Amino acid sequence: MATIIDFNQIKVNNPRVEDFCIAGFVVRLVMNEETKVWNQLDQYKPFVIAHSPENKPLFTMSVVEKENWSKGENYVEEYRQKEQNMEIAAGYVDGYRCYMFVLDGYATCRVIANKDFSQVIVLLTNYELYGLNNAMMLTYAFATASRQTVLFHSSVTVLDDYAYMFLGKSGTGKSTHSQLWLKNFQGAHLLNDDNPVMRVEDGRGYVYGTPWSGKTPCYRNLRYPIGALVQLKQAPYNKITRLTPLKAYSYMLPSISGIRWDKTLSEGIHETENWIASNLPVFYLECLPDDDAARLSHSEIVVKEK
């Protein structure tokens, strides 16, 4: 049995190729034309671009059939994270990065990537759409880690052409606070409700909509300058504080996707986090899920045009 994968000889039966532009980066998906998941990818439609050999993809993700999959030997697990009913396991196999997503005890997909994540192979097993989404999302986060780009766990509301990012652990009330903004401030709209992309471009911070928006179907291929980031915490009162860069860095850390145990990727994430903490306003909002909390945050964080 072969234990080393030749990424130049990846075999996809009856391949169909689609290119997507997500936050300015082209990603390529190669998958069997007859795979039913193609019919479930409505969330990716706003990001489709014409496939062309001239497109330079950030990564090419090839979804292979079981008979063309070689998991290799000598797997060494480096990282395992559990969150509610989901689990992520990551490590190395034969020198390649390897990660797996588990939902309700079932492996949804297995992924092997080359050194710079430019070539990725995926085996979908159970919950195929869930597995593909996670493979695409985290591969994107890994491949962009050294490019002043990070994938946030955040709900993002746009008002007067500025984006406001609400951060916090699951269940903190990010989506609720965004909805309160939509309710209270005319013209406010949602950009993304779970996994937007933030990029540093020409010395400014921008946030992009993505195909990954959690349980809220909000898949908008748009970009806005960031007005502020707000870390939320549930409390029996409403209070907002602007954070120092050092505190901002530590508060943001859990909201950014990445591989902390991989030195190269971790350093790239650190540089971007440091830039955000040093150059963008970051606030800490202790709040109730009420209109007063939305009005308080609005009064403190909204960009005042000169």
Q: Among 8-12, 38-42, 289-293, 299-303, where is mean pLDDT lowest?
A: 8-12
73 with 191, same domain: the answer is no
pLDDT reading at 73 higher than 80 = no
Per-residue pLDDT tens digits for 159-202: 999 999 999 888 889 999 999 999 999 999 999 999 999 999 99
Q: What pLDDT sits at residue 81?
A: 80
Task: Tell me the residue range of the domain where 168 lies.
Answer: 149-301
285 or 82: which leads in pLDDT? 285
Could you write out the DSSP letters of every residue in the chain?
Answer: ---S--GGG---SSEEEEEEEETTEEEEEEEETT-GGGGG-GGGGGGEE---TT---SEEEEE--GGG----S--EEEEEEEETTEEEEEEEETTEEEEEEEETTEEEEEEEE-TTSSEEEEEE-SSHHHHHHHHHHHHHHHHTTTTTEEEB-EEEEEETTEEEEEE-STTSSHHHHHHHHHHHSTT-EEEESS--EEEEETTEEEEE--S--TTS------EEEEEEEEEEEE-SS-EEEEPPHHHHHHHHGGGB-S-TTSHHHHHHHHHHHHHHHHHS-EEEEEE-SSHHHHHHHHHHHS----
Percent pLDDT > 70 in the chain is 94
Q: What pLDDT sits at residue 72?
A: 57
Q: What pLDDT sits at residue 3?
A: 44
104 with 165, same domain: the answer is no
102 with 201, same domain: the answer is no
Which pLDDT band, with edges at 50, 70 and 90, does 223 fall under? very high
256 with 139, same domain: the answer is no
153 with 217, same domain: the answer is yes
